[in-house]
Amino acid sequence: MNNRNLKNLALWIAIFLAFALVAKSVHQTDRPEKLPLVELMKVGDEGRIVGEVVDSGGLLKGKYKAVATEAPGITPPTPEKAADKNAPGPGEKLFETEYMGTQDQAVLDWARKNNIQYKAQRTSEIFSMVLLNVLLPVVIMVVLWIFLMRQFQSGNNKAMSFGKSRAKLVTDGQTKVMFADVAGIDEVKEELMEIIQFLKDPDRFSRLGGKIPKGALLYGPPGTGKTLIAKAVAGEASVPFFSISGSDFVEMFVGVGASRVRDLFEQGKKARPCLIYIDEIDAVGRSRFAGIGGGHDEREQTLNQLLVELDGFNSNEGVIVMASTNRPDVLDPALLRPGRFDRQIRVDLPDLVGREKILMVHTKPLKISTEISLKTIAKGTPGFSGADLANLANEAALLAARKGKEVVEMDDLEEAKDRVLMGPERRSLVMTEKERTNTAYHEAGHALIAKLTNSTAHRVHKVTIIPRGRALGLTSILPEQDMLSQSRVQLKNTILCLMGGRAAEDIVFDEMTTGAANDLQRCTEIAHRMVCEFGMSDKLGPRTFGEPTAQVFLGRDIGRQREYSEDTARIIDTEVQDLLVSGYADAKHQLEGSREALERISQALLERETLDSDQLDMLIAGEPLPPLLEPLNGKNGNGDNSTPSAPASEPTLSPAANELPLEGTV
């Protein structure tokens, strides 16, 4: 048994003993009867005194027999009382009698006359009884209280230290992440390196009158390396580094958040120059005055204290604050103004060069083949974040180990990329032959339209009818290059590609299935944004419709405020409908003109289950594919085509390739 268990056992034993002593001292079921001295002497003269009489310095205690008329009403003692020699027996009562000091001799004479056992109790014995019955329980309770308070406030518990900051102090050598471990965000590294150099050599900048920035806010999509770059700053800086999460400030008790903010900056002032990093600052930094119904808002009080500490009446020179968030749009404007966060640094998704550098970092600890081309993998992963690329490298290593390889090869990285893009294969899923055929034509329609449009925004990476993730078939479409914006023609081609699956089903089977539900949803979204947000309607002109009504206390947009007439709304509906109907008609027309290529692609999918871009080009050109090295065992890899266990196929394009731009460049 370790020391912690022994402490807990001793604590519970002490608590039990304390309560037992208190209960014994205060809970008495048999209270003695107060008898005057004259009445007591009368009882003694009648010979009804039982046992000895104890004299405690003017107080006589003992037992006496009740008279015959009272005896029937006396209840017999319980077994616990019978075990106590001082407890009254059947027909007996306890008594207490006080007498004056001048009556000592009379009491002694009375005891000798009636042959009563008289015992005088000494002062030390009286003090011991008082100590045992009164003082000892009090002392034990005080000791237990002190022990519990020390237990609560020791180690990581700190149950009573609600107002203390929970920031972790990072000193030199405690973190092994350095700037060399961060790739793909060189501009961010330069901005933060300047802050570190300012801390190390302030005279270099202050000689020209410049002041050190008070704060730097890192914002951007999830997985782009905001927390990682903060760890690298902690590793590079030779000053104390305090790290805390935004949610650590807020507690169920009122005033705790503001108290923790004060304590955090007090620690920073004592250790300055220092850096304070607040992760996910939107947990406490959301816009104020957004609640419903009024009342006290603990989060707002925490934010107010944070604003004061960042740039208030008292200066915090030498304390630099870094923070990160995925939602800069919900932060309070007072938090973002210069003087609090002087630098707002966007950490964006990496470009082609950045992705290659990130892959080099994450494949460095792996045993990889010399024939691997990381640039090829980087080209095929547009829209991937740093976290996605780290996951890709790890998945490749796991796949190679599963196959018993000594090194990670190129096919492992390609397969890992497909797993990250499209999800893991579900070859054990049972599909009927009809569903399998329907899925093949559906995916062939997507792939063929993408090839026929011949757009740089739509390059087919791979098409498969092997179930992956939540879909029974997938067509992965990646852009030829990183795109920051999309043109009207490119968006229309995207609608065309999405409609290709439904159009192929209509041409071949003359029926519709639920497999195009996701395609139709995405087409409708694209068409609506083209009309209402991007100003791509000839009838409505260059104008946007609908202002977002953001409710920051919910953390998202819950609707759009309508500021246009019913006639304009009908035109919007008509324009959206025309884009969708014309896109479907164009897709169907192109597939009908290339029916033979559609059949060849569908049959090849039924035979091989997966086709890449080069194989699609050969099929469209009418060239035969090279024979399979190993024939597939059974249909869909499971040899069983009985009862279906999933709804119709839900083909999806790569979200990274077809995500509508939130920001455009002119």
Question: Could you give the C-alpha distances from 359 to 170, 366, 399, 417, 627, in angstroms and in order?
Answer: 28, 11, 17, 12, 34
- For residue 54, the model assigns a pLDDT of 78
Helix-, strand-, coil-residue percentages of the chain, each rounded to 5: 50, 15, 40
459-464 and 474-478: which strand pairing?
antiparallel
Q: Is the peptide bond before 273 cis (omega within 30 degrees of 0)?
A: yes
* Residues making up the chain, counted from first to last: 666
530 Cβ contact list (under 8 Å, min separation 6): 488, 491, 536, 537, 579
pLDDT(327) > 50: yes
Does the pLDDT of residue 191 top 70, yes or no? yes
Using the predicted structure, report yes or no on whether residue 296 has a pLDDT greater than 70. Answer: no
Statement: residue 343 has pLDDT above 50: yes
Eight-class DSSP state of 61: E
Lowest mean pLDDT among 114-118, 295-299, 386-390, 481-485: 295-299
Q: What digits encode the pLDDT tens for the residues 106-123? A: 878 788 888 787 777 655
Q: Which of 10-24, 89-103, 551-565 has the lowest mean pLDDT?
A: 551-565
More confident residue, 339 or 506: 506
Q: Which of the four pLDDT bands, split at 50, 70 and 90, describes residue 391?
A: very high
Residue 7, pLDDT > 90, answer no
Any idea which of 71-85, 188-202, 315-329, 532-546 has the lowest mean pLDDT? 71-85
**Gap between the Cα atoms of 182 and 199, Å rounded:** 21
- Stretch among 16-25, 112-121, 333-342, 368-377 having the lowest mean pLDDT: 16-25
pLDDT band for position 72 (50/70/90)? Answer: very low
What's the predicted TM-score (pTM) here?
0.65
More confident residue, 170 or 322: 322
**pLDDT exceeds 50 at position 100:** yes
Residue 447 has pLDDT above 60, yes or no: yes
* Positive/negative CA dihedral, 216, 217, 219, 225: positive
* pLDDT(612) > 50: yes
The stretch 41-63 carries a mean pLDDT of 80
Q: Any idea which of 292-301, 395-404, 410-419, 507-516 has the lowest mean pLDDT?
A: 292-301
Q: Is the pLDDT of residue 660 over 60?
A: no
Catalytic residue numbers, as ranges: 443
Residue 578 has a pLDDT of 95
Give the pLDDT confidence score for residue 284 in this predicted structure: 87
Q: If pLDDT is split at 50, 70 and 90, which confidence band does 571 have?
A: very high
pLDDT at 398 over 90: yes
Number of alpha carbons in the 13 Å side-chain half-sphere of residue 125: 8
Q: Is the pLDDT of residue 554 over 80?
A: no
Per-residue confidence (pLDDT) for residue 502, from 0 to 100: 93
Cα 145 to the center of its chain, rounded Å: 36
Largest CA distance in the chain: 136
Q: What is the mean pLDDT of the chain?
A: 77
With a cut of 90, say whether residue 393 has pLDDT above it: yes
Closest CA to 382 of 477, 288, 468: 477
For 623-633, how does the pLDDT look when each residue is reduced to its tens digit (9 = 90+)? 888 887 655 54
Q: Which domains does the chain have, with CATH numbers?
A: 31-121 (3.30.720.210), 168-346 (3.40.50.300), 352-421 (1.10.8.60), 427-658 (1.20.58.760)
Of 359, 356, 376, give the one whose Cα is nearest residue 368.
Answer: 359
Model confidence at 590, pLDDT cuts 50, 70, 90, reads very high
Band (16; pLDDT cuts 50, 70, 90): low
> Per mean pLDDT, which of 172-186, 409-423, 538-552, 651-665 is the most reliable?
409-423
What is the token pair recorded at 572?
């919007």
Q: Which residue has the tokens 């001292």?
A: 25
Class of residue 249 by CB neighbours under 10 A (exposed 0-12, middle 13-18, buried 19+): buried
Count of C-beta atoms within a 10 Å radius of residue 402: 9
Say yes or no to pLDDT of 105 above 90: no
By percentage, how much of the chain surpasses pLDDT 90? 18
Q: What are the strands, taking DSSP E only, across 495-634?
A: 547-551, 556-561, 610-612
Helix residue spans in 594-646 (DSSP H): 595-608, 613-620
